[in-house]
Amino acid sequence: MAALNYLGVVLVLLVIIGVGVASGRRVKSAADFATGGGRSGPWLICGTIMGALVSSQASIGTAQLAFSYGISAWWFTLGSGIGCLILALGYVRPLRRSGCTTLMGVIDREYGHKVEYAGSVLSSIGIFISVLAQVVACTGLITVIFPVSTTVAAVLSVLLMTVYVVFGGAWGAGMGGIVKLVLLYVSCIAGLAAVLLLTGGLGGLEESLRTALVGTTPGAMAGIESAADLSAQYGSLIARGAAKDIGSGISLLLGVLSTQTYAQAVWSGGSDRDARRGALLAAGLIPPIGIAGIAVGLFMRGHYITQAEADALLAAGQALPEGVGVLASTIQVFPTFVVHHLPVLFAGVVLGTLLIAVVGGGAGLSLGVATILVNDIYKKVSSRFDSAAAALVATRGTILAVLAASAVIACVVPSATINDFGFLSMGLRGAVVFIPLTCALFLPGRMDRRFALLCTLGGPLGVLLGKFLGSPVDPLFIGMGIALLIACLGCAAGGARPAPERHKRA
């Protein structure tokens, strides 16, 4: 890191901090904080969605996964884009006409408080896992940018996320998301262009991979013995197996439709048309970002090895390949590329942009957790949270608590594969919310509320059991299969609607 690197980082941070403070001045009530007062236009809605969705997993995580599995790393941004498309075409109008401000509020109106409480807790856990992924990524990125310990980096991560959203809420997440969107696209285009220039095009990129991995010790460590092996691992969308990779894409799709943060963006729109256009913009803009991350990951695989691979080579009495760099962790794939292969000042701007991408993702998701807990738990437990001032304080306090807890865990697992967190988080959210929410919006009065409760509990239980038991079938399919079976039985049993007094608007 040179002085101009730091200057670029600081310039980006000053811009985002300015946006956060300016947006905070627009917050006059809890409604302004949670949904922007229902006055957002298409680009602000798009910024809110992408501010949370296009985060560490779409940039740093995609490059990290592409380093090991090539183009199959595209599933995060591809699945996200498809999810936003379905959100725009199928869910915008029903959500906005529900009269609620949380997804759990929609479920509560249809099935009662027990289902809502269970769903609120479980979906909050799912979102928290994704917040944790952002904090882990942010911690790793800060240690590349600044010579600080993991603990200090985790604290700085939380402070940045707090400034990003705690003052401005939906306004801060949306306005910051637009600024981040512009910077991120410039950074991705620059990264992709740099890869193509450095390798001489796609053919050169492929040749660098072949030279680095086919017939070499690092390649053998990765299970690559021939050009066919290289193509199967780095040139296939299902390199990790069809069930795993396609399941990951479906996890993202369902997670988008089942996450409070993205629904809040829809509710913040000034009209159905604005909300739909905002979601469509996000659907079109998200997948290309993954292509840039994949290109960076492939380039780095052709020119770098991991510290574990370097240690194995030295232990076997072999010298490190000439001209090959060593990565302490695969989380550093994208930031290391930026520092060593882009112009110095611009590299600082890109690093600042990556930092804000991660910060914005964690901040937006933590806002979603806080909104769920305040509206669907706190207000139902105590009437003192009914006032706008108390709700606003509780929301901001919950954001701080969520981020602080994430920082503590990030210090324990600093080198985790962040996209694994992302896929688990999205799958868990989808298993909890998607089927009960869809039935509440499109099949009102059809499912017995007792089965709705079993559906809400059974789906995530199936996902977790499949995950921890090492099932050969993607855990998402297990969880969704259980939830769908219970829902079908509930519809067959007939609708047992909650008593009228339990129809409380969120």
* pLDDT interval class at 208 (50, 70, 90): very high
The answer to whether the beta carbons of residues 139 and 413 sit under 8 Å apart is no
For residue range 146-203, list pLDDT tens digits in order.
Answer: 888 888 888 888 888 877 665 544 444 545 557 777 888 888 888 999 999 999 999 9
pTM listed for this prediction: 0.80
Q: Are 403 and 154 in contact (CB under 8 A)?
A: no
Name 128's Cβ contacts closer than 8 Å, sequence gap at least 6: 369, 402, 405, 406
What is the average pLDDT across 254-275? Answer: 88
In whole angstroms, give the CA distance from residue 326 to residue 303. Answer: 9
Residue 250 has pLDDT above 70, yes or no: yes
pLDDT tens profile 111-131: 988 898 888 888 888 888 888
User: Is residue 441 very low, low, confident or very high in pLDDT (cuts 50, 70, 90)?
Assistant: very high
- Tens digits of residue pLDDT in 298-327: 999 999 999 888 998 898 888 888 888 998
What would the 3-class secondary structure string for 432-478 be?
HHHHHHHHHHHCCCCCCHHHHHHHHHHHHHHHHHHHHCCCCCCHHHH
Distance CA 365, CA 287 (A): 20
What is the structure's pLDDT at 418?
A: 67
Q: How far apart are CA 496 and CA 506, in angstroms?
A: 21
Per-residue pLDDT tens digits for 339-388: 899 999 999 998 888 887 787 777 777 877 887 788 777 887 888 887 87
**Are 395 and 34 contacting, i.e. CB atoms less than 8 angstroms apart?**
yes
If one counts every other C-beta atom within 10 angstroms of the C-beta of residue 254, the result is: 26
Task: Give me the pLDDT at residue 168, please.
Answer: 45
pLDDT tens for each residue of 273-299: 999 999 999 999 999 989 999 999 999
Q: Give phi and psi for 327, each to the nearest 5.
A: -100, 130
Q: What are phi and psi of 142, to 5 degrees?
A: -65, -35
Please report, for residues 1, 22, 89, 149, the alpha-carbon distance to residue 143 in angstroms, rounded to integers and kept in the order given: 11, 29, 41, 7
Q: What percent of the chain has pLDDT over 90?
A: 32
Cα 506 to Cα 500: distance, rounded to the nearest angstrom: 15
**Residue 304 bridge partners (DSSP):** 325
With tokens 């807990």, the residue in question is 373
Mean pLDDT, residues 30-41: 56
Q: Is the pLDDT at 265 greater than 60, yes or no?
A: yes
pLDDT at 226 over 70: yes
User: Residue 33: what pLDDT?
Assistant: 46
Q: Which residue has the tokens 């993202």?
A: 252
> Nearest to residue 269, comparing CAs of 54, 24, 87, 28?
87
Rounded CA separation 436/484 (Å):
9
Joined together, the tokens standing for residue 274 give 């604005």
User: What pLDDT does 506 receive?
Assistant: 36
State how far the Cα of 453 lies from the Cα of 104, in Å rounded to an integer: 12
Helix, strand, coil % over all residues of the chain, rounded to 5: 80, 0, 20
User: Which of 149, 136, 137, 145 shows the shortest CA–CA distance to 407?
Assistant: 136
Token couple for 46: 């798009």
More confident residue, 176 or 398: 398
pLDDT at res. 127: 80
Across all residues in the chain, what is the average pLDDT? Answer: 83
CA distances from residue 46 to 58, 77, 156, 330 in whole angstroms, order as listed: 16, 15, 27, 30
Structure confidence at residue 21 (pLDDT): 64
> What is the reported pLDDT for 170?
44
Range from 10-24, 178-192, 247-261, 489-503 that averages highest in pLDDT: 247-261
Q: Is the pLDDT of residue 504 over 60?
A: no
Give the containing element (helix H, strand E) for 326: strand 325-327
Q: Distance of alpha carbon 117 from its chain centroid, rounded?
A: 24
Task: Report how far residue 365's alpha carbon sits from residue 51's, in angstroms, rounded to the nearest whole number.
Answer: 9
Whether residue 500 has pLDDT greater than 50: no
Residue type, 156: L
60-88: pLDDT as tens digits: 889 999 999 999 999 989 999 999 999 99
Secondary structure class of 354 (helix, strand, coil): helix
Find the mean pLDDT for residues 407-425.
72
Q: Is the pLDDT of residue 438 over 80?
A: yes
- Give dist(CA 143, CA 420) in Å, integer: 21
CA–CA dist 357, 112 (Å, integer): 37
pLDDT in tens, 459-490: 999 888 887 887 777 788 889 999 999 999 99
Query: Residue 204 — very low, low, confident or very high, per pLDDT cuts 50/70/90?
Result: very high
Measured distance CA(275)–CA(84) in Å, rounded: 11
